[in-house]
Amino acid sequence: MMQIPQNHFRDALRAGRTLIGLWVGLADANAAEALATTGYDWLLLDGEHAPNDPRSVLSQLRAVAPYPVHPVVRPVVGDVALVKQYLDVGAQTLLVPMVDTPEQAALMVRAMRYAPEGIRGMGAALARASRWNRIDAYLNQADGQMCLLVQAETVQAIAHLPAIAATAGVAGVFFGPADLSASMGLRGQANHPE
């Protein structure tokens, strides 16, 4: 049997280590692999503003797997079914955009965990994440390797920020200054002092 991949990115966040990464919006496995050789701690495979979907992310996950870089996947939206697909193809860390409330954050936590703690579908036998059931006790170990980051990008999210950040299972909050400034009526002014 195989061992579950350890989420060293999540471990480093918990330890308070500074991690440096790069946004990858090219939707190309060769580009992702080339960038994986450059020494970054993480690469964000962007599906919100780049033309990535689960199939192109799968190719990029395979391309970066041999390198000491951690892939972070940003889906287009925080959708339970889409989260399941990204986790099943092997993502362990997601950055979910436009999380405005603690309820949305809690739903994304549940989407990343198997029952009874969560609602992630039980299709591991068909999934790359479990190496098609070749990882010993994958279903019992997977939740412990997941890492959820959420994006606060609206006035509503900022109003709920303490509760979002305190949501059990949320490992971090990323601020989206462009969307936040637009939400504040300051479109195109991401560097505005407010």
Per-residue pLDDT tens over the stretch 37-69: 999 999 999 999 999 999 999 999 999 999 999
Q: What is the DSSP letter of 99?
A: -
Is residue 18 very low, low, confident or very high in pLDDT (cuts 50, 70, 90)? very high
Q: What is the mean pLDDT of the chain?
A: 97
User: What 3-state class would DSSP assign to 155?
Assistant: helix
Is residue 1 very low, low, confident or very high in pLDDT (cuts 50, 70, 90)? confident
pTM over 0.85, yes/no:
yes
Give catalytic residue positions: 49
Q: How far apart are CA 119 and CA 134, in angstroms?
A: 22
CA separation, residue 12 to residues 8, 34, 185 (Å)? 6, 23, 36
193: which residues sit within 8 A by CB, 6+ positions away?
none
Contacts by residues 112-119 (CB-CB < 8 Å, ≥ 24 positions apart): 112/83, 112/87, 112/143, 112/146, 112/148, 112/169, 113/143, 113/146, 113/169, 114/139, 114/142, 114/143, 117/143, 118/143, 119/80
pLDDT at 95 over 90: yes
Kindly report, residue by residue over 114-158, the tens digit of the pLDDT: 999 999 999 989 999 999 999 989 999 999 999 999 999 999 999
> Going from the N-terminus, what domains does the chain have, and what CATH number goes with each?
8-183 (3.20.20.60)
Q: pLDDT > 90: what percent of the chain?
A: 95
pLDDT at 193 over 90: no
The pLDDT score that the predictor gives to residue 194 is 84
